[in-house]
Structure 1
Amino acid sequence: MPDGARPERRRQERGVRRMEQLLDAAAGLFAEIGYDSATTNKIAARAGVSPGTLYQFFSSKEDIAQALADRYIPQLEQAHRDATSGDLDALGPADLVDRIVDPIIAMNVANPGMKDLIGRSELPEHIIAPARRVQAAVAGRVAEVIGRQRPELDEAARRRYATTVLRLFATFVPLAVSAGDDEREQVIAEFKTVLRGYLTEVLAAG
């Protein structure tokens, strides 16, 4: 490598590290105080840099939100693939709940700022649309499983049951993310109990 290329490469590596540092700081603040309250000045302070340094990498808080969404969406897609792939039709309600809950909870706990960010309807469509597509795909997969076990149900009923499952996730996931380690296990257990009860009733009816 030419001698002149080494300093440039080091500068690029420092820039990447600084950008990740700022994104980590933003994610932490979004989780703690919410997107609305997390100003660029607060993000810079959390990252231990000046606001001017932040603006070298990001032009606005929305720009930071876009970069975080780009980080989150592949993880969200992978978690949902893990939750909904394979032969779900062969699983009873207890195993089905374990399959779909565990990877999604784990991904949200690992990325606590994600829920507040991609769940905000007022953000530009290009930021939140990918997450909505993933959620719609999961709802479709759950509706498909319900339909195979309850073939007498029409499409509207299948979608309604699947939407209820997603709403239960929307209720319990933030509780699990914000809980301490000991309490989190209790929240997840309670969530699984509620979801198993609901799916047992849905799949057995008819």
Structure 2
Amino acid sequence: MPDTQPTAADADQADQADERPRRRQARGERRIAQLLDAAATVFTTSGYTAASTNAIAREAGVSPGTLYQFFPNKEAIAIELGERLMHKMRDTYGEALDAVDPAAPMELVVTSAVDRFIAFNSEHPAFFALMHGPDVPGRMAEEHEALHASLVERIQALLSSLLPDGRHADIERTANVCLSVYKAGLELVLASEGAERDAYVAELKHVLVRYLEPLVGDCAEPAGPATAPLG
């Protein structure tokens, strides 16, 4: 029986067969992104507990049946959204908390870091709604604790570049205070708009600068018989 060589038509059919799954996958990814965007809006306005899959479907402009093709329940949606936002958050604080020039003014250091974090949370308010609400869904609570620990470590690394002679325990305490102050201020920032939000951001920076400046100044002075604690 003679060998049959593939024709151009056969090649075209094969390409079309390969293209169909790719198109279906692309449509599915777009639908998932659409549902996650809708969920972010609903979680931000209603909170996780009060949100429902019906509300998310309505916000996305699809039927509940379409939503259930991609997510079995509200918790699954929140977990997927939370994981994506935490990934973006890690990128943000990786850029914001790099080591800095010890000679850099404290106001510049604080402003650079705070502006990046505020920009992220302003762009993604669902992150705060999910991570700081009363009912953090699924395994997100553990992942958020891990994110918090990583964030403290990055703040410690930044502070170590500013306080090269500081004790580890003191720097760790200072990092925790800075993060706690930031979180408290962030809640006020996100609850405000326009000029009032800008005013809260300025106040937050002012508090952090006034807290850190004396510590860096004390550490920069020649060491005496004993080193005063940072906290």
> TM-score range with shorter-chain normalisation?
0.7 to 0.9
**What amino acid is aligned across from residue 61 of structure 1 in structure 2?**
K
The Cα of 1:99 is off from its aligned counterpart by 2.3
Length, aligned pairs only: 206
Corresponding residue for residue 121 of structure 2? 108
Query: Match of 1:96, as an amino acid?
Result: V
The answer to which structure has the higher helix fraction is: 1
Structure 1 125/164 Cα, relative in aligned 2: closer, same or farther at 3 Å?
farther
Cα deviation digits, residues 30-65 of structure 1 (max 9, x gap): 111211111111111111111111111001111111
Match of residue 34 from structure 2: 21
Whether 1:92 and 2:96 are equivalent positions in the alignment is no
Q: 2:70 aligns with which of 57, 63, 69?
A: 57
Quickly say closer, same or farther: Cα 1:165–1:6, change in 2 above 3 A: same
Cα 1:88–1:115 shift into 2, 3 Å:
farther
- 1:143 Cα shift? 3.0
What's the TM-score, normalizing by structure 2? 0.77
Structure 1 residue 129: deviation in Å?
A: 3.3
Gaps (5+ residues) in structure 1? Answer: none
Highest Rg: 1 or 2?
A: 2
Q: Deviations over 1:70-115 (max 9, x none)?
A: 2112211111011111335343321110121111111111111011
1:148 and 1:157 map into 2 onto residues whose CA distance is 14
The 3-state SS of whatever aligns with 1:179 is coil
- Aligned-residue CA RMSD in angstroms? 2.5
CA gap of 1:145–1:6, structure 2 versus 1, over 3 A, is closer
Whether the 8 Å contact between 1:120 and 1:128 is mirrored in structure 2 is no
Q: How high is the sequence identity, in percent, across the aligned residues?
A: 33
Contact 1:93/1:200 (<8 A) preserved: yes
CA distance in 2, matches of 1:202, 1:142: 15
Q: 4+ residue runs of structure 1 moved beyond 6 angstroms?
A: none
